[in-house]
Structure 1
């Protein structure tokens, strides 16, 4: 029985829009007795194969593919028959990245890489030394990256929550206050970061930039269950599909997370993934 469909457009070409994204082609919809299966687009811009060579993906490319496939699975595996709350539609802005960031974790697991990572000529698996170097690079300056994300999120929230008509936007003054509380490295006074912070002024993330980091917390904690029970544990995978992917926005995302994890989110797995906790 046909469950879902996907259109793939993986390679870069002249005139094609850059980046990588998933989009909805058709949503699941029940019109008794028939059910319209969901269909998704998955678009990337990987280097295409040559005349005598296959397409070769960097590890960043693999993470991108897994990330976007998380969105695709969220759409395709829904069991909700109403398009407005099925799949990715209607999911809270600060949780919609949970499946995508969750899937990125597989790109760092030895068990997963052993299934897909091969030398294009010798077909040898990824050497242990190279794998360890990848892990070391992942953790390099991880603490600074985390603080930078906290800076962006706090600035965004305070900018919108504390606006006072009498005082004006306090654009640079507020940024300086936030940096004094979290920044390790402070840019020079002439820097005008807010004027280029397009995520919150032109990108749809106004008062919502924190969602990036919060989704990382959810994703890392969800994946921690797989780390505990087995990366390819079928029962754990079925629970993730049933409690997270299948329900869409038919219930609050936090309830779905609790149903899968059995508790509220814990930031410790995220800190461990950054190499900042044991």
Structure 2
């Protein structure tokens, strides 16, 4: 691939990533609102979530929830947010490697294996993350990954 074309593809990698992130926030908020509190019509719940997150208004005829099977089957109820939370954890953990100046840092890799992978589900994930990272997760690394901050 010619370098100029490669550079263009690389530059486009984060095109509209902010909208993509906000859409995922909308999905997660809708899911949480729908599965907590008093039962309400799902379109009213969606409208409320969209008022808090959407940048672009959805047409009135849109019935997105009718095909949002993630939250109605398979045990995802009120758990869709976990997709974004997993991205926060992954980006913040990887940021430690980039901050070290060596993404192949063997010492950090060993610490990640020892504090996260080896313990698996034997302790809460937050304890594993903080044992590795030395602090609670921060979303800044994910925002940087999406190209939304420097």
Q: Provide the C-alpha distance between the structure 1 equivalents of 2:14 and 2:123, rounded to a whole number of angstroms.
A: 35
Q: Greater relative contact order: 1 or 2 (C-alpha under 8 angstroms, separation 6 or more)? A: 2
**Aligned pair in 2 of structure 1 residues 200, 239: CA closer, same or farther (>3 Å)?**
same
Q: State TM-score, norm by structure 2.
A: 0.93
- Higher Cα radius of gyration: 1
Give the 3-state SS of the residue equivalent to 2:13 in structure 1.
Answer: helix
Residue 180 of structure 1 and its aligned partner are, at CA, apart by: 1.1
Residue 250 of structure 1 and its aligned partner are, at CA, apart by: 1.0
Matched with 2:30 is: 155
Residue 187 of structure 1 and its aligned partner are, at CA, apart by: 1.6
Matched with 1:221 is: 92
Q: Number of paired residues?
A: 149
Give the 3-state SS of the residue equivalent to 1:235 in structure 2.
Answer: helix
Residue 228 of structure 1 and its aligned partner are, at CA, apart by: 1.1
**Aligned pair in 2 of structure 1 residues 138, 190: CA closer, same or farther (>3 Å)?**
same
Give the 3-state SS of the residue equivalent to 1:243 in structure 2.
Answer: helix
Asked whether 1:141 is paired with 2:16, we answer yes
**Aligned pair in 2 of structure 1 residues 133, 203: CA closer, same or farther (>3 Å)?**
farther
**Aligned pair in 2 of structure 1 residues 131, 263: CA closer, same or farther (>3 Å)?**
farther
Matched with 1:204 is: 75
Q: Provide the C-alpha distance between the structure 2 equivalents of 1:269 and 1:178, rounded to a whole number of angstroms.
A: 25
Q: How large is the Cα RMSD of the aligned pairs?
A: 1.5
Q: How big is each residue's C-alpha offset from its partner over 1:73-98, in whole Å with a ceiling of 9 and x where there is no partner?
A: xxxxxxxxxxxxxxxxxxxxxxxxxx
Asked whether 1:190 is paired with 2:61, we answer yes
Mapping 1:19-168, distance limit 5 Å: 129-164=4-39
Higher normalized helix content (fraction of residues): 2
Q: Provide the C-alpha distance between the structure 2 equivalents of 1:198 and 1:275, rounded to a whole number of angstroms.
A: 30
Q: Provide the C-alpha distance between the structure 1 equivalents of 2:36 and 2:43, rounded to a whole number of angstroms.
A: 16
Residue 203 of structure 1 and its aligned partner are, at CA, apart by: 3.4
What stretches of structure 2 of length at least 5 have no aligned partner?
Answer: none
Q: How big is each residue's C-alpha offset from its partner over 1:205-250, in whole Å with a ceiling of 9 and x where there is no partner?
A: 1100000000000000000011111111111111111111111111
Matched with 1:177 is: 48
Q: State TM-score, norm by structure 1.
A: 0.51
Residue 137 of structure 1 and its aligned partner are, at CA, apart by: 2.2
Q: How big is each residue's C-alpha offset from its partner over 1:18-75, in whole Å with a ceiling of 9 and x where there is no partner?
A: xxxxxxxxxxxxxxxxxxxxxxxxxxxxxxxxxxxxxxxxxxxxxxxxxxxxxxxxxx
Matched with 1:273 is: 145
Structure 1 segments of 4 or more deviating over 6 A? none
